[in-house]
């Protein structure tokens, strides 16, 4: 995209200068907002895909998240990171679509089943760098395939807490669940993912 022709961004804008970019975008500098989009589009698309598990919904949720973020930039007061604010919008957009698509099958308030399931099986170590057994692309596809198998209530919590590094409190607020529900679902999600990754990483030989 180029809002202002093919003119490159000013070299004075450095990568870690998010606050300055946001301030410029708020003042109406389209190129600054364009840079924020370029910076975060991959992560936001991964997030909306993880939550919706549907390509069309993920694309719509991402697009609407960026459009809403631009429209409401005036409301962003800088108390949190811009990225966290953007994640909040993207989570809302994703959950809205997930609920619309699966009105009878999706609830973030679903109770967590008994704890006996938490006792891990498959107790063999993976070695120091199991991920190095796979090419980067293959690894990406394994990780997507495995996380897709998690139920939405666990997947959303894991993605926000461990992939996006959102705090427990903010995760609870974004998903509309209690802090203790975030903690118990995070534990369950981590253990389930560990178990599902195990067949790919166990032993010392490449698959």
Q: Does 151 bind another protein (CB under 8 A)?
A: no
Q: Select 71 or 104, whichever has its Cβ closest to another protein.
A: 71
140 lines the binding site for another protein (CB under 8 A): yes
Neighbours of 170 (CB within 10 A): 18
Number of residues in contact with another protein, rule: CB under 8 A?
53
Per DSSP, helices labelled H in the chain are 18-26, 30-52, 55-71, 82-101, 136-148, 152-158, 168-175, 179-201
The number of beta carbons lying within 10 Å of the beta carbon of residue 19 is 11
* Choice between 1 and 103, CB closer to another protein: 1
- How buried is 93 (Cβ within 10 angstroms: 0-12 exposed, 13-18 middle, 19+ buried)? buried
Contact stretch for another protein (CB under 8 A) within 13-21, 80-88, 92-100, 183-191: 183-191
In the shown chain, the binding pattern of residues 59 to 98 toward another protein, with x for contact by CB under 8 A and - for none, equals x--xx--xx--xxxxxx-----------------------
The reply to whether 187 sits near another protein by the rule CB under 8 A is yes
Instruction: Report the alpha-carbon distance of residue 133 to residue 194 in Å, rounded.
Output: 17
Phi, psi dihedral angles at 149 (to 5 degrees): -80, -10
Residue 133 interacts with another protein (CB under 8 A): yes or no: no
Residue 15, classed as helix, strand or coil, is coil
Structure tokens at 161: 């807490």
In whole angstroms, what is the distance from residue 93 CA to residue 52 CA? 10
- Give me the 28-47 binding string for another protein, x by CB under 8 A, dash otherwise: x-x--xx--x---xxx-xx-
Site residues for another protein per CB under 8 A = 1-3, 25-26, 28, 30, 33-34, 37, 41-43, 45-46, 59, 62-63, 66-67, 70-75, 118-120, 123-126, 130-131, 139-140, 143, 147, 158, 162-163, 165, 183, 186-187, 190-191, 193-194, 197-198, 201
């Amino acid at each position: 995209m180029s809002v202002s022709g093919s003119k490159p961004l000013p070299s004075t804008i450095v990568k870690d200068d998010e606050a300055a970019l946001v301030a410029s975008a708020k003042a109406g500098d389209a190129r600054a907002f364009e840079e924020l989009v370029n910076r975060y589009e991959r992560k936001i698309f991964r997030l909306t895909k993880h939550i919706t598990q549907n390509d069309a919904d993920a694309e719509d949720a991402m697009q609407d998240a960026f459009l809403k973020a631009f429209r409401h930039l005036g409301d962003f007061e800088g108390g949190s990171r811009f990225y966290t604010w953007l994640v909040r919008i993207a989570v809302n957009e994703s959950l809205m679509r997930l609920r619309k698509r699966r009105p009878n099958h999706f609830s973030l308030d679903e109770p967590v089943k008994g704890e006996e399931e938490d006792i891990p099986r498959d107790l063999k170590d993976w070695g120091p760098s199991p991920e190095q057994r796979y090419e980067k692309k293959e690894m990406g596809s394994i990780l997507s395939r495995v996380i897709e198998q998690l139920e939405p209530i666990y997947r959303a919590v894991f993605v926000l807490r461990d992939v996006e590094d959102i705090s427990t409190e903010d995760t609870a607020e974004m998903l509309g669940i209690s802090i203790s529900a975030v903690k118990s679902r995070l534990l369950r999600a981590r253990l389930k993912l560990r178990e599902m990754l195990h067949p790919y990483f166990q032993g010392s030989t490449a698959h």
